[in-house]
């Protein structure tokens, strides 16, 4: 029979003060609630409460993997260097890769991910197309010697990952395996209580995507995203959105005095026009040394990723270079610039006929400038970073913006690893062909941190039932009272027997301390047993998420909570 836990025996050393090193809510609250402890930079111990949550996340993953026919197994964390040399990654993987030698001076790596190991595993044993498809996965610690491990579990050096690898005979087969994983990943996020967006990391040539990252929406996220209710979501770095241009004032090309500080905001305010009606200029030196002036709608930034794509490793021009090319900081524009300067403008401006640009003279701009008449644009390119309000490329509606935490990613690998490592199977005609592969990773420990980022308040964590360390906490206010303690025990026992995970705060602490700890640890429901209520045959149920308190009869509270908890388990 299932039993309940006593808080006095739970190893959860709570902290009264906020730990100074923790910037993020998840990091701070997991430390304070006694759920994680740091051993060294980026190395964390998961204490019993966190471990209970992690096991629940893993259960969700296992159920969803089983549902699509993926098989769990486990490979060694340590990988012989030879197979990393075969794949080519031994030479290209940077300092994040932890390399080590054994006593015979043989090279190994601590796996940051395990494509090589799985390819090597199936290489001589999956021989025929008849045995395909196969998807194998594991849940295991990974090690990446991150340059800046930070934010607790969010960016650790050792962390828990679920990694899966699919082997198919054909491209279509691989796409099906990929789609299955992608859909399972969406369900996993949902069941763990995460609001996440599938962000296309990479588009294939034939329309569909070949890689998607699931981004949990949270202020603390490292990625800046734009998304739309129609389902479109993208990293601002990758989004190709529609930007409606705005014309500047006037149509005749005319110099105007603009005695304002050289920023777009100041210029727009001075002229009483929108920032978008101005043109922003960025002067750079492309990788091939060409001086380039990039013109963008005034309220958009030059996108680094797109610019790298267009110009290679470019540098922002320094003042000396600007002077050499006739450009004046704060008042740059295409008119009057040196002939050697290549003028490139954002594609969104192609039909604009009246540009407000810098005059290359401090304190002056030119209005009504028209490309083709007053200056030449050498090339039109997609250069702007997407932002809120830009048009969704799928449906045209204004995009919203958010920040996201990458919790998982799915990839179509094709034959990248199988070809490099000579992993082939025999097709229908007996011809040897490399496997079509996919790989799929979920940051299990990062998912836990993301859940806390999305579910907390000033007082502490607010666990969704599905991943809560315990589902109910019973809080007797006077443990020595001969009515209160038996009542609390009865409730706890009843809940445990009904299959609810329950902990009783049996500590001889003041009510205030118990309430604060209960809110900090954040189990979804609290059953408060106070003397007066119990005397009247009642207890108080507090919903941690809403703060709502309900008086429930002692005789009914087990049924009342069992129904609630079970319906929220997912």
Q: Render 226-292 in DSSP notation, one character per residue.
A: EE-TTS-EEETTT---B------S-SS-EEEE--S-SSHHHHHHHHT--GGGBEEEEEEE-TTS-EE
- Residue 166, contacted partner among Mg ion, ligand ATP, none, CB below 5-8 A by kind: none
**CB-based contact 425:131 (threshold 8 Å):** yes
Least distance from Mg ion to the Cβ atom of residue 213, Å? 6
Of the candidates 271, 268, 320, which has an alpha carbon nearest to the alpha carbon of residue 299? 268
Considering the rule CB under 5 A, would residue 181 count as an interface residue with Mg ion?
no
Q: Which residue has the tokens 């989004």?
A: 239
Give dist(CA 57, CA 391) in Å, integer: 36
- Residue 156, contacted partner among ligand ATP, Mg ion, none, CB below 5-8 A by kind: ligand ATP
Instruction: Calculate the CA 223 to chain-centre distance.
Output: 7
Closest residue by beta carbon to Mg ion: 409
Q: Which residue has the tokens 């100074």?
A: 20
Stretch that binds Mg ion, among 117-125, 367-375, 401-409, 431-439 (CB under 5 A): 401-409
Give dist(CA 133, CA 169) in Å, integer: 7
Stretch that binds Mg ion, among 154-162, 263-271, 363-371, 409-417 (CB under 5 A): 409-417
Total residues binding Mg ion (CB under 5 A):
1
Considering the rule CB under 6 A, would residue 145 count as an interface residue with ligand ATP?
no
Give dist(CA 218, CA 226) in Å, integer: 13
Considering the rule CB under 6 A, would residue 443 count as an interface residue with ligand ATP?
yes
Of the candidates 403, 436, 334, 438, which has an alpha carbon nearest to the alpha carbon of residue 115? 438
Closest residue by beta carbon to ligand ATP: 443
Considering the rule CB under 6 A, would residue 155 count as an interface residue with ligand ATP?
yes
Residue from 89, 144, 300, 367 binding ligand ATP (CB under 6 A): 144
Stretch that binds ligand ATP, among 391-399, 442-450, 500-508, 535-543 (CB under 6 A): 442-450
Considering the rule CB under 6 A, would residue 161 count as an interface residue with ligand ATP?
yes
Q: Where are the alpha helices (DSSP H) in 413-497?
A: 416-420, 444-454, 484-497
Least distance from ligand ATP to the Cβ atom of residue 310, Å? 23
Least distance from Mg ion to the Cβ atom of residue 228, Å? 22
Considering only residues 92 through 121, tell me which ones interact with ligand ATP, judged by CB under 6 A. Answer: 113
Considering the rule CB under 5 A, would residue 409 count as an interface residue with Mg ion?
yes
Considering the rule CB under 6 A, would residue 454 count as an interface residue with ligand ATP?
no
Total residues binding ligand ATP (CB under 6 A):
15
Considering the rule CB under 6 A, would residue 165 count as an interface residue with ligand ATP?
no
**CB-based contact 440:185 (threshold 8 Å):** yes
Q: Which residue has the tokens 């070809």?
A: 419
The secondary element (H helix, E strand) that includes residue 117 is helix 115-123
Give the nearer residue to ligand ATP in terms of CB position, either 146 or 179. Answer: 146
Give the nearer residue to Mg ion in terms of CB position, either 134 or 224. Answer: 224
- Residue 452, contacted partner among ligand ATP, Mg ion, none, CB below 5-8 A by kind: none
Sheet holding 254-257, edge to edge: 254-257, 364-369, 355-361
In the stretch 406-435, what mask flags binding to ligand ATP with x, by CB under 6 A? Answer: xxxx--------------------------
3-state secondary structure of 337: coil
Give the nearer residue to Mg ion in terms of CB position, either 385 or 409. Answer: 409
Strand bridging mode 342-346 / 379-381: parallel
Least distance from Mg ion to the Cβ atom of residue 406, Å? 5
User: Dihedral of CA 230/233/239/243: which sign?
Assistant: positive
**CB-based contact 50:469 (threshold 8 Å):** yes
Considering the rule CB under 5 A, would residue 408 count as an interface residue with Mg ion?
no
Instruction: List contacts with Mg ion (CB under 5 A).
Output: 409
Residues that bind ligand ATP (CB under 6 A): 113, 144, 146, 155-156, 159, 161, 406-409, 441, 443, 445-446
């Amino acid at each position: 029979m299932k039993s309940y836990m006593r808080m006095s025996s739970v190893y959860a050393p709570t902290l009264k003060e906020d730990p100074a090193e923790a910037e993020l809510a998840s990091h701070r609250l997991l430390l304070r609630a006694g759920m994680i402890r740091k051993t060294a930079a980026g190395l964390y111990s998961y204490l019993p409460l966190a471990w209970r949550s992690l096991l629940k996340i893993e259960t969700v993953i296992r159920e969803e993997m089983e549902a699509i026919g993926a098989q769990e197994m486990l490979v060694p964390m340590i990988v012989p260097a030879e197979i990393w040399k075969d794949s080519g990654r031994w030479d290209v993987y940077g300092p994040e890769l932890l390399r080590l030698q054994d006593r015979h001076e043989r090279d190994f790596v601590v796996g940051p991910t395990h494509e090589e190991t799985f390819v090597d595993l199936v290489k001589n044993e999956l021989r025929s197309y008849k045995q395909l498809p196969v998807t194998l996965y594991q849940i295991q610690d990974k090690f990446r010697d991150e340059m800046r491990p930070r934010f607790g579990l969010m960016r650790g050096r050792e962390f828990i990952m679920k990694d899966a690898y699919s082997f198919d005979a054909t491209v279509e087969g691989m796409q099906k395996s990929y789609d299955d994983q992608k859909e399972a990943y969406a369900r996993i996020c949902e069941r763990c209580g995460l609001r996440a967006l599938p962000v296309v990391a990479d588009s294939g040539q034939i329309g569909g995507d070949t890689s998607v990252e699931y981004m949990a929406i949270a202020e603390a996220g490292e990625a800046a995203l734009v998304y739309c209710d129609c389902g479109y979501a993208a990293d601002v770095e990758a989004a190709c959105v529609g930007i409606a241009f705005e014309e500047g004032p006037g149509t005749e090309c005319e110099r105007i005095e603009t005695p304002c500080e050289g920023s777009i905001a100041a210029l727009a305010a001075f002229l009483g026009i929108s920032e978008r009606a101005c043109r922003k200029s960025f002067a750079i030196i492309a990788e091939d040394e060409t001086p380039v002036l990039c013109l963008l709608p005034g309220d958009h930034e030059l996108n680094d990723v797109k610019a790298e794509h267009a110009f290679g490793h470019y540098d922002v021009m320094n003042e000396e270079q600007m002077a050499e090319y006739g450009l004046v900081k704060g008042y740059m524009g295409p008119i009057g610039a040196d002939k050697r300067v290549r003028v490139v403008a954002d594609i969104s401006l192609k039909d604009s006929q009246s540009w407000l640009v810098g005059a290359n003279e401090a304190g002056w701009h030119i209005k009504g400038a028209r490309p083709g008449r007053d200056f030449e644009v050498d090339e039109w390119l997609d250069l702007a970073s997407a932002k809120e309000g830009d048009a969704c490329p799928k449906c045209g509606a204004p995009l919203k913006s958010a920040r996201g935490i990458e919790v998982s990613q799915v990839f179509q690998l094709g034959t990248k690893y199988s070809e490099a490592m000579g992993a082939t199977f025999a097709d229908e005609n007996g011809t040897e062909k490399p496997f079509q592969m996919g790989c799929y990773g979920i940051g299990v420990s990062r998912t836990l941190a993301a859940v806390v980022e999305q579910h907390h308040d000033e007082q502490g964590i607010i666990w969704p039932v599905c991943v809560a360390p315990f589902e109910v906490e019973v809080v007797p206010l006077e443990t020595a009272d001969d009515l209160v303690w038996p009542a609390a025990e009865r409730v706890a026992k009843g809940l445990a027997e009904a299959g609810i995970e329950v902990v009783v705060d049996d500590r001889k602490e003041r009510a205030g301390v118990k309430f604060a700890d209960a809110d900090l640890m954040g189990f979804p429901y609290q059953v408060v047993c106070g003397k007066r209520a119990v005397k009247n045959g009642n207890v108080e149920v507090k919903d941690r998420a809403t703060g709502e308190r309900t008086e429930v009869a002692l005789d009914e509270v087990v049924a009342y909570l069992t129904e609630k908890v079970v319906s929220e388990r997912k």
